[in-house]
Amino acid sequence: MIPAIAKSLRLLLVSTSVGPLGSGIGGGVELTLQNIAQEMRRRGHTIQVVAPTESVMGDIPIQGIPGNLQMMAQNLESDAPICMPGDAVLANMWEYIRTVQADYDLIVNFAFDWLPFYLTPFLTRPVAHFISMGSITQTLDQMMEQVAVRFPGTIGVYTASQAATFPFAERCRCLGSGIDLSLYEFCGEPGEALAWLGRIAPEKALEDAVAASHLTGIPLKIFGKMQDKGYWQQICWEYPQAPIEYVGFLSTKELQKELRQCQALVMTPRWVEAFGNVAIEALACGVPVIAYRRGGPAEIVRDGETGFLVEPDSIAGLVEAIKRLDEIDRYKCRQHAETEYSLDALGDRFEDWFKDILGNG
Ligand code: HBI
């Protein structure tokens, strides 16, 4: 049953600018954008996505925009200036938005970049900004704060711990996350392997999970976009005997087939992970999550019930938790995902946010 709402909204969803949707370069925010697009359409809203050319997202209509991709922000120093390449896809996306905005009720920005925030007062339509990471540079924080002050209620984030990294934490609306649970199949009888899932990059600290695999001798299956090849080679060089396997970047359908067979997901974020969509993907398959007590995962995992929270950066802590996995009831993990992270629950939270911004909340 599609819940009736006052009126159907015309939503223009604006992609991250670092890579085409479907490439995995945009990490967790790609999944969030896809889930919101799918769920808002199911609720009878009109959806249009604006994204770099070659983006694909099922049967959701995408306006592909050419231009040079934006540099990844997460490795910038906190005093880094704003950089834009020539013929920037980010600028071209917002030029397109300027020309079509009158056809929409609300623009929803998913890019973690300065330009969309700076342009907000220049547009004739309201912009909802979904921020997908914790604070990275002061310049970006300042521009985000200007929008948060001038347009109250228009800043959305995943979690409270992510909001706490910003000076305007109290002006952030925590929306959590969610996934299409029908895509994930419960598995009660896993194999021996552990899983690690995410962009292969230093902020994700894959080396800690590899060290735990090396120490326990338990195989580790690694899934995700090979973002930093040099970093990966360094890990392989440091742990030549670790029983690890790089499986690659898989579609959700293929990923969950392998993930559900694992005895646990190991999450080792070195940075404040804004949410950790991979954690709820694992829970949806009945896979317990062992995570550092840091950022979003610390708000997701119920310690001792749906996984274990470990002293941040403690490899010994990971090893200890791995030994306790038989204490976890895998079906409780699936139930946790169903009660907290369904697409329907996520859709309610985003729809309420949109209606509050448009004043008919
Ligand atoms: N960097 N400049 C920039 N812009 C983004 O939108 C962006 C990014 N780095 C990572 C990223 N988005 C996503 O992987 C995370 O938001 C999940």
Per-residue pLDDT of 67-98, as tens digits, reads 999 999 998 999 999 999 999 999 999 999 99
Residue 4 belongs to some domain of the structure: no
What parts of the chain have a pLDDT lower than 70?
1-6, 360-361
Cα of 283 from ligand 1 centre, angstroms: 24
Q: Is there an atom of ligand 1 within 6 Å of 116 CB? A: no
CATH code for the domain of 88:
3.40.50.2000
Q: Is the CB of 51 under 6 A from ligand 1?
A: no
290 lines ligand 1 (CB under 6 A): no
Domain total in the chain: 2
Residue 160 lies in a domain: yes
Is 1 within a domain? no
Domain presence at residue 189: yes
Q: Give the residue, out of 31, 77, 112, 135, with the most ligand 1 atoms within 8 A of its beta carbon, to mutate for a pocket test.
A: 112
Give the pair of three-digit tokens for residue 168: 């305007």
Beta strand spans in the chain (E): 10-14, 46-52, 62-65, 106-109, 127-130, 155-157, 173-174, 194-197, 220-223, 244-248, 264-267, 289-292, 307-310
Residue 2 lies in a domain: no
Whether residue 112 is found in the same domain as residue 214: no
Is residue 351 a contact partner of residue 343, using CB atoms and an 8 Å limit? no
Considering the domain architecture, whether residues 148 and 15 belong to the same structural domain is answered as yes
Is 21 found in the same domain as 113? Answer: yes
* Test site for ligand 1: of 14, 69, 74, most ligand atoms within 8 A of the Cβ: 74
Chain segment 152-200, per-residue pLDDT in tens = 999 999 999 999 999 999 999 999 999 999 999 999 999 999 999 999 9
Q: Supply the pTM of this predicted model.
A: 0.88
Using CA atoms, how far apart are residues 229 and 237, in angstroms rounded to an integer?
A: 12
For residue 333, being part of any structural domain is answered with yes
- On whether both 144 and 187 belong to a single domain, the answer is no
Range of the domain at 298: 181-340
